[in-house]
Chain A
């Protein structure tokens, strides 16, 4: 085997290894999604298709919730859009590091960009320009585990009578807790999270369902930036 092939394989291997924490999280959460989707009455094929072509954990959970409550497709699509707008901000924050990438690689990378893979990529953002293969391998491993979890969940859905005794409906919240803690490495970021969470709760109580997320995000990040600038001098 020549050297460049060996290097490529090593990069793919490192990417898969870096994805392991995501895999451990995605399999049970994908499982929970597969089971809940089955309970909501979504067909097995559509449940799986969502994991393949949408690949957005929180949106998929929200979508099956809306589907179960009989909400129409337009509202489901609009909600997904609002919930996913956050990825726009995430993708934008990675983009300065993706300078040397070809368009088609960017297209594939973006397709599989999730909260979790974003967290890993942004922690190693400065290397992102040089380790394209590793980054793509990480993303693909993550999605493969999400799809695998979904399939197991679909199969199990027929066997499980009620999801509540297993706490499966807590999967998404627990995932957010782990991701949030990983993001709070200094005081400014903790303050940002607390402010944003507080605003989101107030807006939600005021009856803003879904738009509270994007509004609180903008408010929280702006507040955090203010704190950061204020405490800098």
Chain B
């Protein structure tokens, strides 16, 4: 796991550092972070047991609806994580979701 984590992080900096990449490639690379983060996040919020599930007991989805504006306003990783986990915990405490 360490090796397959390290290689993708290392090889580009080692071989590409200081090279002049074509502007179109740089523009594409700049869009990778929002793309990859959304790709990891969105299915985990929407999909449960193989289906898109937006029922009230899908706490991950509803907590995200609050966590997004919190992240937007606060620009804080800490505040977003605490509010998100707190809402999921609260929902479960009130018996809303699983």
Contacts and interface: CB of A to CB of B under 8 A. Distances in A.
Interface of A: 21-22, 24-25, 28-29, 32, 50, 53-56, 58-59, 63, 76-78, 80-81, 83-96, 98-101, 103, 106-107, 109-111, 113, 115-116, 118-119, 122, 164-184, 188-190, 192-201, 204-205, 212-214, 216-222, 224-225, 228
Interface residues of B, number: 70
A93 B32 contact: yes
Interface of B: 1-2, 4-6, 8-21, 24, 26-47, 50-52, 59-60, 63-64, 67-68, 71-72, 75-78, 80-89, 92-93, 98
A110 B75 contact: no
B16 A173 contact: no
Given A92-B16, A110-B6, A171-B81, A193 B38 contact: yes
B34 A196 contact: yes
A21 B76 contact: yes
Contact of B75 (A109, A182, A197, A212): A182
18 contacts: A24-B78, A55-B5, A59-B5, A89-B36, A91-B11, A98-B13, A174-B80, A174-B81, A175-B77, A175-B81, A177-B80, A178-B67, A184-B34, A196-B34, A199-B39, A204-B47, A213-B36, A225-B31
A92 B1 contact: no
B75 A94 contact: no
Contacts of B47: 201, 204-205
Contact of B64 (A103, A166, A177, A188): A177
Nearest to B4: A81
Contacts of A113: 9, 13
A116 B92 CA distance: 29
A49 to B, nearest CB: 9
Given A77-B4, A106-B10, A177-B80, 7 more contacts: A90-B9, A91-B9, A173-B45, A180-B37, A197-B42, A213-B36, A213-B39
Given A167-B86, A177-B64, A201-B47, A225 B75 contact: no
A164 B71 contact: no
Nearest to B17: A98
A169 B97 CA distance: 13
Contact of A107 (B5, B10, B42): B10
